Chain A
Amino acid sequence: MSPFNKFIDHTLLKATATKQDIIQLCEEAKQFGFFSVCVNSCYVSLAKANLERSEVKVCAVIGFPLGAMSTVSKVSETIDAIENGAEEIDMVLNVGWLKSKDYQGVLNDIKSVKDIMPNKTLKVILETCYLEDDDIIKASELAIEAGADFIKTSTGFGTRGASEKDITLMKSAIEGTTKIKASGGIRDAQTALKYINLGVHRLGTSSGIAIISGKTSDSNY
């Protein structure tokens, strides 16, 4: 097995992804031993059914990709995803509230989700493409205070994906056991290795197979 495989959340989030696409995603994740498949909440049940008796986990995105869903709706979507078999949750932080400097709102948004899934992994997507340097640090601090298990760079639907600078800034805010997931624009082994060497614990990518085969993918995520 490639040393990369357990770093990878094998990801398919585009609106037009079909059931067949999700089934294929699960087959690939089993074949290559990826850590998880990352899907929209409507496909959690289908993914779970196709990953029975495998170690591959199901990761669901919440409030995705804008983060502008009301807090209780994010909580509701999370409960639904966990009931359907999700073991990890990637929620988008409320970027608008962060930009409004409503830090209490942002904290409460994340904390409300974490509170209903204390024993499962919560990743908080900061969507760094829209954030200034001090926003990235503030968002990281709020996510960590709220109990996030991971802070994650990008949705793949913003203006750009992860950058080396994002990771460095996020690392500077990390305390204790919080980890970092880099996502968006990771299409080859060289980029994956760069982030892993920076201390990233997980990679979100649609190009997992290309990465572990040493090729470059033409996917946007």
Chain B
Amino acid sequence: MNLSKQIDLTLLHATTTERDIINLAQEAIKYNFHSICVSSCYVPLAKQLITDSDIKISTVVGFPLGAATTSTKIFEAKEAIDYGADEISMVVNLGLLKSRNYVSILKDITDVKLAIGNIPLKVIIEISELNKNEIIKVCEICLDAKADYIETSTGFSKGGATLTAVKIIKKTVRDNISIKATGDIDDLETILKYLENGADRVGISTIIKPINNLRQLRNNKVYKQYLENSTLLEVEKVYQ
């Protein structure tokens, strides 16, 4: 297992410049991360920047409120795919969830999944706005809608991923949907904790801290499996 390939390097702030996206792509190539996750306006640029690597492009739709119409989410997803996006993260319609309009939420997710076919769909459920029962309910809807991933957070709400929420999600979906933990994750130990507790993918927005404590973690028995073949270690040798 290559730990680097379980990490999406993410930059979604409103003020993100072209230069920031260029730096992001360079970092991702350097550490051989799974993908760079960018806003839909930057998908064409991102695609150009990673042409000669196997780094994937992830983008977000209906982001970060989830309150765009379904047809807008579909349009944004399909256009991004046309320009080279390999994975789509959509935000669940939280207002409809709070209105207990579960049929409409199922349709929102199902319609996007049907429209994008084999492209992996991650559904961001924004756990900081949900109680335990709502997390379980939305996970069940994601199972019905055949989503590929459940993603914890946008990073733009009250809080990011929590271990408690990841455990609830894992217990609900077992191995039927993958889990991505995002938001407030900025060091390697936290990344490894999420992976140990059911997450398959982790979104980070900085690569500085994860690298800093790599050395102290590489001898830890539990984490060894993640670090053994990691590109992060190779980069570490080169850069230290």
Interface residues of A (CB under 8 A from B): 13-21, 40-44, 64-73, 76-77, 80-81, 84, 92, 94-97, 99-100, 102, 127, 130, 157-158
Q: How far is the CB of B97 from chain A (nearest CB, A)?
A: 8
Task: State which of A41, A66, A92, A99 has its C-beta within 8 Å of the C-beta of B17.
Answer: A99
Q: Using Cβ atoms and an 8 Å threshold, which residues of chain B touch A67?
A: 14
Q: Using Cβ atoms and an 8 Å threshold, which residues of chain A touch B93?
A: 42
Known contacts A15-B94, A80-B69, A96-B16, then 13 further A-B pairs from the complex at CB < 8 Å, ordered by chain A residue: A13-B65, A15-B66, A40-B65, A40-B95, A42-B93, A66-B12, A67-B14, A68-B16, A70-B40, A70-B79, A72-B75, A76-B75, A77-B75
Q: Which 6 pairs between the two chains have the least Cβ-Cβ distance?
A: A40-B67, A68-B39, A73-B76, A76-B75, A77-B72, A18-B99
Report yes or no: B67 in contact with A95, Cβ–Cβ below 8 A: no
Q: List 22 A-B contacts (CB under 8 A).
A: A13-B67, A15-B64, A15-B126, A15-B157, A17-B67, A18-B98, A19-B96, A40-B67, A40-B95, A42-B69, A42-B93, A43-B67, A65-B14, A65-B64, A66-B14, A66-B64, A69-B40, A70-B76, A73-B75, A73-B76, A84-B69, A97-B41
Q: How far is the CB of B19 from chain A (nearest CB, A)?
A: 7
Report yes or no: A95 in contact with B15, Cβ–Cβ below 8 A: yes
Report yes or no: B12 in contact with A68, Cβ–Cβ below 8 A: yes
Contact with A along B2-17 (1 / 0, CB 8 A): 0000000000111111
Report yes or no: B76 in contact with A96, Cβ–Cβ below 8 A: no
State whether the Cβ of B63 lies closer than 8 Å to any Cβ in chain A.
Answer: yes
Report yes or no: B71 in contact with A16, Cβ–Cβ below 8 A: no
Known interface pairs A13-B65, A66-B63; A19-B95 also in contact (CB < 8 Å)? yes
Q: Which residue of the partner chain B has the closest CB to A95?
A: B14
Known interface pairs A16-B94, A42-B93, A64-B65; A72-B79 also in contact (CB < 8 Å)? yes
* A26 and B83 alpha carbons, distance in the complex (Å): 39
Q: Using Cβ atoms and an 8 Å threshold, which residues of chain B touch A14?
A: 65
Report yes or no: A69 in contact with B18, Cβ–Cβ below 8 A: no
Known interface pairs A16-B129, A96-B42; A102-B71 also in contact (CB < 8 Å)? no
- Taking each of B18, B61, B72, B76, which has the highest tally of chain A beta carbons within 10 Å of its own beta carbon? B72
Q: Using Cβ atoms and an 8 Å threshold, which residues of chain A touch B76?
A: 69-70, 73, 76-77
Contact with A along B57-81 (1 / 0, CB 8 A): 0000101111111111001100110
State whether the Cβ of B101 lies closer than 8 Å to any Cβ in chain A.
Answer: yes
Q: Using Cβ atoms and an 8 Å threshold, which residues of chain B touch A17?
A: 67, 95, 98
- Taking each of A21, A80, A102, which has the highest tally of chain B beta carbons within 10 Å of its own beta carbon? A80
Q: Using Cβ atoms and an 8 Å threshold, which residues of chain A touch B16?
A: 68, 96, 99
